[in-house]
Structures are given as structure tokens and as C-alpha cells.
Amino acid sequence: MRRRLTALLLLAATAGCASLPVLGPALLLARADRQAREGAWQEAVASYDQYLARYPDDSAAPRVLESRDTLAAMLTARTELTRRREEVSRLRDELAALGDEGTWLRRSGTRLRAEATVLRDEVIRLRDELTRLRDERLRLREELTRREGDLARTRQELAAQQTEAERLRADIERLRTDIERLKQIDMQLERKR
């Protein structure tokens, strides 16, 4: 408080006298310290830099340099903290999005597992059907082979019967011829009597 009052009195007493070599550094330093206390840290750093540029050999220069470095470090830390908070917020948003995506993936996985079960059951049913159809095809091939054998035997029997029929026709033809001859002989015998 005392320091503040002194700075204010000094400021009032030397208004317009900032060019005096003794009061100039004190006023600039008071302004920089006031800015630092009020939280105007960037302005305070600029004022400290101005002080150090104008009065590098002043007795307060080491304290000013330390205050300036502390404020600059605080500003850097505050900027870094803001950046980190933004990054944390972004990461939280990403985490929420990933959580939503994970929920969606879990639901999709459950749905896909159910679909896979249905498809597995369908594959099993189709395999059973394929096995049944293969067995049926095998049975039909055996039946076809049996019927082809029957057909071959029937053809042979038909061929044998046709041969027999041809032989019988030939026999009948011979018998007709013989009957005709016998009729002619009989007619000749009848005439002779």
C-alpha cells in the first residue's frame, strides 16, 4: 500500500517531468509494476522491456529483468495452459466421438454376429441340402444305370424277337409256298382222276 501511495505521489509530482533522469526510470518502473499488479501482463512485459532498453544500468534493472522474465514465463505458461485446455477439450470431444463410434461398432458387431449365425445356419442347411441332392443324384445315376441295363436287355430281347419274327415270317412264307404247291399238286391230282 505504501509503495502504491509513493508511486501515486511520485506520479502526481512529476507529471510532465518524465524526461528528468531521476524520475523517468521510477515512473516507467511504477507504470510497469502497476500493469503487472492489475493483470495487464503483456503491457507490463512491454513496459519492463522499455525500461530495460532505456535504463539497462539502473540499480533496479536486475529486479526488473527478473520480474519481466517471471511475467513472460507466466504469459508463456498461460498460453500453454490455454492451448492445453483447448487440446484437452478437443481430446474430450474426440473421446466422446470414439465412445459413440465404439458403441456403434459394438452394436454393429452384435448385429453382424447375429447375421453370421443366421448365415452359418443357412450354410449348414445348404450343406445338408447339397448332401441330400448328391445322394439323390447318386441314386438317380444308379437308377439310370439300372434302367439303361434294362433297356439294353430289352433291346436285345426285341432284337431276338425281331429275328424270331423274321424267321417265323420266313417259315410262314415257306409254308404258304408249300401250301400253294400242295394246292397245285392237289388240283393236278383232281384233274387226273
Cβ atoms 34, 8 nearer than 8 A: no
Q: What is the DSSP letter of 14?
A: T
* pTM above threshold 0.95: no
pLDDT tens-place string over residues 104-149: 999 989 989 999 999 999 999 999 989 999 999 999 989 888 888 8
Listed in sequence order, the DSSP H helices in 18-60 are 23-37, 41-54
Cβ atoms 13, 27 nearer than 8 A: no
pLDDT tens-place string over residues 74-86: 899 989 999 999 9
**DSSP-assigned letters across all residues of 133-192:** HHHHHHHHHHHHHHHHHHHHHHHHHHHHHHHHHHHHHHHHHHHHHHHHHHHHHHHHHHHH
Residues near 36 by beta carbon (within 8 Å), at least 6 away in sequence: 44, 67, 71
Span 35-54, mean pLDDT?
93
